[in-house]
Chain A
């Protein structure tokens, strides 16, 4: 039995670690880019980004004050038993959000879309979002916390089989043209691309691809992996550096995920996730043992399955 007290404590700690530390794979990639960048303004910006990571960790401050829209990804083992059930899990995640909004603090970003009413705790209707997936032969609960801004860098478009990969490249370049100027995406960014499924599924996959895979990870399908590498190169040849200054450091990684699509369509979602990449994961075992880790391990072979089982 996974105890509710353990879930609450873990969710609190994940919010703190995400807001202040973020994952090392992103910090290391930015450090590599800073070494290789030659344009003086882009190099200066990358240097300050690295200083900021250090300042956040040293002082225990949020690395970025736009602490985004805190959200959770829960992967639940098929045999996991959660004290109080799934409704309790949801309540605990909402409670952890409100508590850490005050204690870290996070910026209370969540407001009613019409009245703009703010409870000052990042909780409200469909807030925080919790997404679920399941895993066979497991009795653990994985929780990943993501704090991502949400105003810029996302797009959706219905492409068609005739547009193909060249069309996808055009749409990808368009998203850079729109959001890399002046650095609206807060690049260098990880770019998630979701292809196929329905409109909502390709957008969801693009968000998961941007937020739930580590820098350097390639899609297990060699054709998709090759396209990921082509898009990384295209992005870093675009001429955009951080803040839209001239440079070669704009794309930390590209992650592509696919879903089977309507035979006549090829819908595409794109998400840019900034260098202040606030994510952190933990596994709670059935004996209440908690292991924190930086790889969300969201895209398991089971999650990407294409068979009936």
Chain B
């Protein structure tokens, strides 16, 4: 067994809001568990803030600086009372264009999501702002993450955006695990994984012909990403 194969995953428990020292201590691939408040946001929330220039009716700078690209499986059991058994992330790359202004304006220190973002966003927007990116694990751990939700503290824009797109402010306890995908230096775990896999992966194409009919824009190689 190689050294790398012997590696184990270090677990880290953090209270929100986090300090810069907390974030500096994290290494790529650490498993992080969070305690405090996490607020969700996806297409609807970003569209209202950045396309329609509508500020949320509460000051989200006061929420502790951890946001989650997610919408929960949720029901309203009686008016204002919610059942949130399961939460999972949605793919983050679609929100990359909003990140530079979003992170700065609202003092965001932790972005949680699915699959991370491109390295240049980390270098341009995350690192200068002291923000890290945590990726959910496997992406379908809804039940495990659901166990970390204590309850709904508030919900913003529920009528305007519907349950799936509203901003849910969640109270969480030992909420995780999330893997450190972008650390305080702006390095990326996925970038390293891609680099490690590419050599082996490209070999599988040896001997396979180019296809007869090309598609417009088909100029990239299989070792590049599609977003």
Residues of A that sit less than 8 Å from B by CB: 38-41, 44-46, 48-49, 51-52, 55-56, 59-67, 101-109, 111, 116-118, 120, 151-152, 157-160, 162-163, 166-167, 169-171, 173-174, 176-178, 181-184, 186, 234, 237-240, 242-246, 274-276
CB-based contact A65/B209 at 8 Å = no
CB-based contact A166/B5 at 8 Å = no
Name A66's closest neighbour in chain B (CB-CB): B88
CB-based contact B5/A167 at 8 Å = no
Q: CB of B41 within 8 A of chain A?
A: no
Least distance between A179 CB and chain B CB atoms (Å): 8
CB-based contact A166/B208 at 8 Å = yes
Q: Which residues of B contact A111 (CB under 8 A)?
A: 162, 164
Known: A104-B73, A118-B165. 19 other contacts (CB 8 A): A39-B5, A41-B29, A52-B143, A59-B146, A62-B73, A64-B86, A65-B71, A65-B72, A103-B75, A116-B44, A118-B164, A152-B91, A163-B211, A167-B208, A176-B201, A237-B204, A246-B196, A274-B139, A276-B140
Cβ contact of A239, chosen from B5, B86, B140, B201, cutoff 8 A: B201
Name A38's closest neighbour in chain B (CB-CB): B5
A-B contact count (CB 8 A): 210
CA–CA, A48 to B145, complex, Å?
11
Q: Which residues of B contact A67 (CB under 8 A)?
A: 73
CA–CA, A102 to B85, complex, Å?
12
Name B137's closest neighbour in chain A (CB-CB): A48
CB-based contact B211/A170 at 8 Å = yes
Least distance between A131 CB and chain B CB atoms (Å): 24
CB-based contact B144/A52 at 8 Å = yes
Q: Most chain-A CB neighbours within 10 Å: which of B9, B135, B196?
A: B9
- 19 interchain pairs (CB within 8 A)? A41-B179, A55-B146, A61-B142, A61-B147, A64-B86, A65-B146, A66-B90, A105-B83, A116-B43, A166-B208, A170-B205, A170-B211, A177-B223, A181-B194, A183-B138, A238-B204, A243-B138, A246-B197, A274-B139
CB-based contact A52/B142 at 8 Å = yes
Q: CB of B36 within 8 A of chain A?
A: no
CB-based contact B86/A171 at 8 Å = no
> Beyond A118-B165, A243-B135, A243-B137, is A40–B4 a contact (Cβ under 8 Å)?
yes
CB-based contact B212/A159 at 8 Å = yes
> Beyond A118-B163, A166-B208, is A182–B85 a contact (Cβ under 8 Å)?
no
CB-based contact A38/B1 at 8 Å = yes
Q: CB of B213 within 8 A of chain A?
A: yes
CB-based contact A40/B9 at 8 Å = yes
> Beyond A48-B137, A174-B222, A186-B140, is A108–B163 a contact (Cβ under 8 Å)?
yes
CB-based contact A105/B85 at 8 Å = yes
Cβ contact of A61, chosen from B29, B143, B161, B193, cutoff 8 A: B143
CB-based contact B194/A244 at 8 Å = yes
Chain A contact residues, majority secondary structure: mixed
CB-based contact A274/B115 at 8 Å = no
CB-based contact B143/A63 at 8 Å = yes
Q: Which residues of B contact A65 (CB under 8 A)?
A: 70-73, 86-88, 142, 145-146
Q: Which residues of B contact A160 (CB under 8 A)?
A: 212-213
Residues 115 to 129 of chain B near chain A (Cβ within 8 Å): 115-116
Name A274's closest neighbour in chain B (CB-CB): B140
CA–CA, A108 to B165, complex, Å?
10
CB-based contact A49/B194 at 8 Å = no
Q: CB of B207 within 8 A of chain A?
A: yes
Q: Most chain-A CB neighbours within 10 Å: which of B8, B31, B226?
A: B226
CB-based contact B211/A159 at 8 Å = yes
Q: Which residues of A contact B33 (CB under 8 A)?
A: none
Q: CB of B105 within 8 A of chain A?
A: no
CB-based contact A106/B140 at 8 Å = no
CB-based contact A151/B91 at 8 Å = yes
CB-based contact A118/B204 at 8 Å = no
CB-based contact B204/A108 at 8 Å = no
CB-based contact B204/A173 at 8 Å = yes
CA–CA, A163 to B212, complex, Å?
6
CB-based contact A244/B209 at 8 Å = no
CB-based contact A105/B211 at 8 Å = no
CA–CA, A159 to B213, complex, Å?
7
Name B222's closest neighbour in chain A (CB-CB): A177
Name A188's closest neighbour in chain B (CB-CB): B138
Chain B, residues 163-187, CB within 8 Å of chain A (1/0): the string is: 1110000000000010100000000
CB-based contact A275/B140 at 8 Å = yes
Least distance between B172 CB and chain A CB atoms (Å): 14
